[in-house]
Amino acid sequence: DTGVSQNPRHKITKRGQNVTFRCDPISEHNRLYWYRQTLGQGPEFLTYFQNEAQLEKSRLLSDRFSAERPKGSFSTLEIQRTEQGDSAMYLCASRDGGWGGYTFGSGTRLTVV
Amino acid sequence: GIQVEQSPPDLILQEGANSTLRCNFSDSVNNLQWFHQNPWGQLINLFYIPSGTKQNGRLSATTVATERYSLLYISSSQTTDSGVYFCAVERGNAGNMLTFGGGTRLMVKP
């Protein structure tokens, strides 16, 4: 068990570019979550998957944000036409079913210049 | 939605001192976790504690679900305890997502 893995650790992009982040959850965990954390704040929920099904996506910040988990294993979070306000830490977490604790990855820090 | 408030927002301790961090929440929950966020941004799970008391070394936590609060105790603090401590809760009918408090920023001075 290598924990939750996120790549890249850091991403600097120019405004207007598209970016994609990857999350590999703990292998036996069927639930995967994406959170966003801005400076000085606690993480806020974006979306989650149970296996390959995206069960909650109303909290995605705009239609520029989308997430996939095509085979119920790793997940990607894409932001299109990035804006400076998208600069934040993007965190992924997984858990086994709907109970028990969440395990978070190290996050991807996005800077939009 | 559910509200989570943590106190104090900032705390400065001398190494060796003890401290208590508090988390209040506005509705019944079926999950409560305490996390420590290190300087690199990683959220490290300290306790999964929807109710009762748990201890892990110098840390312990107590959740009184009926009164909607949880406490995190840090004894004999060390400089490596510095960072941000988050409380996060989950309601069973809310899409199984964690709602975080604003955190307590702890600095332990040598």
**A44-76, pLDDT tens digit by residue?**
999 999 998 888 888 888 899 999 998 889 999
Across the interface, whether the CB atoms of B97 and A107 are under 8 A apart is answered no
In the DSSP assignment, the letter for residue B96 is T
pLDDT reported for residue B52 = 96
Across the interface, whether the CB atoms of A91 and B43 are under 8 A apart is answered yes
pLDDT reported for residue B93 = 61
pLDDT reported for residue B94 = 56
CA dihedral (B101, B13, A89, A110) positive or negative = positive
Per-residue pLDDT tens digits for B38-92: 888 889 999 999 999 999 999 999 999 999 999 999 999 999 999 999 999 998 6
* Candidate from A33, A37, A106 with C-beta closest to B97: A33
Sheet holding A65-68, edge to edge: A5-7, A19-24, A75-79, A65-68
Give the CA distances from residue A68 to residues A40, A92, B3, B19, B94, in Å, rounded to whole numbers and listed in that order. Answer: 28, 13, 29, 42, 21
From the CA of A99, how many Å to the nearest CA of chain B? Answer: 8
Per-residue pLDDT for A1 more than 70? Answer: no
Across the interface, whether the CB atoms of B48 and A101 are under 8 A apart is answered yes
Amino acid identity of residue A48, one-letter, is Y
